[in-house]
Each structure stands twice: as structure tokens, then as C-alpha cells.
């Protein structure tokens, strides 16, 4: 079975550029989560969706960050404009039910470096 697929795996770009991260969740999973992982702050939840609807975006650090889920098989996380402090590994995860009651399935992440 295909797991959660994220692209790209690595992204290096210059400050000020727009960055778009992509995620394909596991088919049939109705919850989708975006996380950010850094050495300093650990794993942080940015936003999550239920049935394609954003439920809680309180973890999104600034208005420069936005996320969409136009259909059940695709989500994007966009940063515009990007800044060096956005450098981190960004993970997408999906679960078949509430993420607190069900295992979350993670992609292998996008390692983002903003120069």
C-alpha cells in the first residue's frame, strides 16, 4: 500500500521566494495534518483538516503560511515570502479518524532550506 507521499523531498531556495510543499494522503483517510520539525522546537502541528476542511490553523506561525486541501487526495502548504527561519523539515500525516484516537501515518517530509 502506498503511504503518505510528499514532494519535493528537498527544497533549497532564496529568501523571498514562494515555496509550495505537496502532500498526497493515504486513500480513505479523512484527517490530514501538517507538522514542522526543528531541533529547537521539536515537532509542531501547523494545521489540520477533516474531510478537506481546515479545522485548526492556530499553529501556523504567520500569515506568510497558508494551506489548502482542494480534494481528498491532495494538500499544499505554501510559504510566501519565505524567510531563513522557515528552514525546517515539514511533514504531512494522515489518519483514518481523529488523530488522537488513531495512528497517524507520516510522509518522509520535505527538508526546506531558505538561504
Residues that bind other proteins (CB under 8 A): 4, 33, 42-43, 45, 48, 55-56, 91, 93, 98-109
Find the length of the chain.
115
In the chain the first and final C-alpha atoms are separated, in Å, by: 36
Given the complex with other proteins, which of 99 and 114 has the nearer CB atom?
99
Given the complex with other proteins, which of 80 and 94 has the nearer CB atom?
94
- Taking the complex as a whole, how short is the minimal distance between the CB of residue 16 and other proteins, in angstroms? 28
Given the complex with other proteins, which of 18 and 56 has the nearer CB atom?
56
- Taking the complex as a whole, how short is the minimal distance between the CB of residue 34 and other proteins, in angstroms? 12
Number of neighbouring beta carbons within 10 Å of residue 62 = 9
Given the complex with other proteins, which of 85 and 98 has the nearer CB atom?
98
- Taking the complex as a whole, how short is the minimal distance between the CB of residue 29 and other proteins, in angstroms? 13
Sign of CA dihedral 62, 31, 90, 100: positive
**Dist. CA 101–CA 79, nearest whole Å:** 30
Sign of CA dihedral 20, 72, 69, 29: negative
Amino acid at each position: 500500500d502506498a503511504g503518505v507521499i510528499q514532494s519535493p523531498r528537498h527544497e533549497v531556495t532564496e529568501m523571498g521566494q514562494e515555496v509550495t510543499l505537496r502532500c498526497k494522503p493515504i486513500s480513505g483517510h479523512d484527517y490530514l495534518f501538517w507538522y514542522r520539525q526543528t531541533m529547537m522546537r521539536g515537532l509542531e502541528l501547523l494545521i489540520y483538516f477533516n474531510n478537506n476542511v481546515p479545522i485548526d490553523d492556530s499553529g501556523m506561525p504567520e500569515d506568510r503560511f497558508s494551506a489548502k486541501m482542494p480534494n481528498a487526495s491532495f494538500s499544499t502548504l505554501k510559504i510566501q515570502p519565505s524567510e531563513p527561519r522557515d528552514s525546517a523539515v515539514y511533514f504531512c500525516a494522515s489518519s483514518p479518524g481523529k488523530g488522537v484516537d488513531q495512528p497517524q501515518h507520516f510522509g518522509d517530509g520535505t527538508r526546506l532550506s531558505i538561504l
